[in-house]
């Protein structure tokens, strides 16, 4: 009996040893993912966009060692570059020889969009309380004589604006969220008046621009991750079947946009450290990457602008709390800047 028990115990032990060896062998040959280096980036390029022609922009100017939320670049008639910092209310002026100065037109303003009227006055879209009390104001070129165009009491949250050839302007209403499409695009004519709704039901409407011929309105949804191409019958009317959702962005974050003279569309990808380029029909054709993005730097790419009369593309970003401050990068655009509309 003892011999039988010993044999049984030995058999059980051999079975356990065999099972353990089999388990170890199974573990060493388990199917495993081999993640390519490109996908190990902090912000990997989506597979559908990874093979787009790409170029890395180079540094043009370090604006600050602090992580300032730089936005709203535009050029005035003298060729000076104007841009702003949202939370401090500062408007910067950069001359062609890189002399930087600044002014604060009103410490209560939270600027997110600038555009220069043919008269020379600066129009500003500002986010106010970031809830429902933003405004559009206009000022003299030096930041004085601030006047209200859209009041904080009107219930809008203006983020960006663009003039048409008649001297009126469109602005985006930066309201809503990924599941609450309560933002939109509004128009105010050259004679002023109440804002007219043109594009409703947007999830944080952000960037807005017009094609060189003024017939196509382009809009981004920050929370919706989408790009809209809107054919206009007139300033406030969408043409029949003229509204198209031409692109869905992976990872979200489409911020400001600009158009070049050939009608190509440049979209700043906030949180991704890059600028995507679409052709005039909305197909992606290229991208500009910012240095350090794979390691998590310079991801807050908010806006871009092309210097008038040139193909010099200036890209704005900040490193937030990562230590590399706020920087303007530069690259060559696909075409020269679109001419400014003139009434």
- Return d(Cα 92, Cα 184) in angstroms, integer: 28
User: Which pTM does this prediction carry?
Assistant: 0.91
Token pair in block for residue 324: 């590399």
- Return d(Cα 245, Cα 93) in angstroms, integer: 36
| Cβ-contact 325, 63 below 8 angstroms | yes
- Return d(Cα 229, Cα 248) in angstroms, integer: 12
> Which bin fits 295, alpha (ψ -120 to 50), beta or left (φ > 0)?
alpha
DSSP tag of 37: G
**Catalytic entry in 255, 260, 262, 311:** 255
Show pLDDT as tens, one digit a residue, over the chain (343 residues): 455 445 455 455 545 555 555 555 566 789 999 999 999 999 999 999 999 999 999 999 999 999 999 999 999 999 999 999 999 999 999 999 999 999 999 999 999 999 999 999 999 999 999 999 999 999 999 999 999 999 999 999 999 999 999 999 999 999 999 999 999 999 999 999 999 999 999 999 999 999 999 999 999 999 999 999 999 999 999 999 999 999 999 997 999 999 999 999 999 999 999 999 999 999 999 999 999 999 999 999 999 999 999 999 999 999 999 999 999 999 999 999 999 876 6
Terminal Cα distance for the chain, rounded: 109
| Cβ-contact 114, 84 below 8 angstroms | yes
Is 255 catalytic? The answer is: yes
Nearest to 257 by CA among 281, 278, 238: 278
Whole-angstrom Cα Rg for the chain: 26
């Amino acid at each position: 009996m003892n011999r039988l028990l010993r044999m049984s115990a030995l058999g059980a032990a051999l079975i356990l040893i065999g099972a353990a060896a089999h388990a170890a062998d199974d573990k060493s040959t388990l199917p495993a993912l081999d993640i390519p280096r490109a996908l190990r980036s902090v912000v990997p390029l989506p597979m559908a966009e990874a093979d787009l022609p790409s170029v890395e922009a180079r540094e043009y100017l370090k604006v600050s060692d602090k992580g300032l939320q730089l936005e709203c670049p535009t050029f005035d008639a003298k060729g000076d570059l104007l841009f702003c910092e949202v939370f401090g209310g500062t408007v910067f002026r950069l001359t062609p020889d890189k002399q930087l100065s600044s002014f604060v037109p009103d410490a209560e303003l939270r600027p997110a969009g600038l555009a220069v009227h043919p008269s020379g006055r600066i129009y500003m879209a500002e986010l106010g309380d970031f809830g429902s009390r933003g405004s559009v104001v206009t000022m003299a070129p030096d930041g004085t004589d601030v006047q209200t165009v859209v009041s904080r009491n009107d219930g809008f949250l203006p983020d960006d604006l663009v003039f048409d050839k008649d001297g009126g302007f469109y602005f985006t209403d930066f309201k809503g969220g990924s599941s609450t499409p309560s933002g939109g695009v509004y128009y105010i004519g050259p004679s002023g008046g109440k804002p007219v709704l043109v594009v409703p039901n947007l999830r944080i409407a952000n960037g807005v621009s017009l094609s060189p011929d003024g017939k196509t309105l382009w809009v981004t949804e920050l929370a919706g991750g989408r790009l809209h191409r809107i054919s206009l019958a007139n300033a406030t009317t969408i043409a029949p079947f003229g509204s198209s959702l031409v692109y869905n962005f992976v990872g979200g974050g489409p911020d400001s946009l600009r158009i070049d003279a050939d009608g190509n569309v440049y979209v700043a990808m906030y949180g991704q450290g890059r600028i995507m380029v679409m052709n005039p029909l909305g197909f992606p054709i290229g991208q500009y990457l910012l240095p350090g993005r794979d390691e998590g730097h310079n991801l807050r790419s908010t806006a871009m602008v092309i210097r008038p009369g040139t193909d010099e593309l200036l890209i704005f970003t900040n490193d937030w709390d990562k230590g590399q401050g706020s920087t303007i990068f530069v690259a060559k655009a696909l075409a020269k800047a679109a001419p400014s509309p003139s009434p």
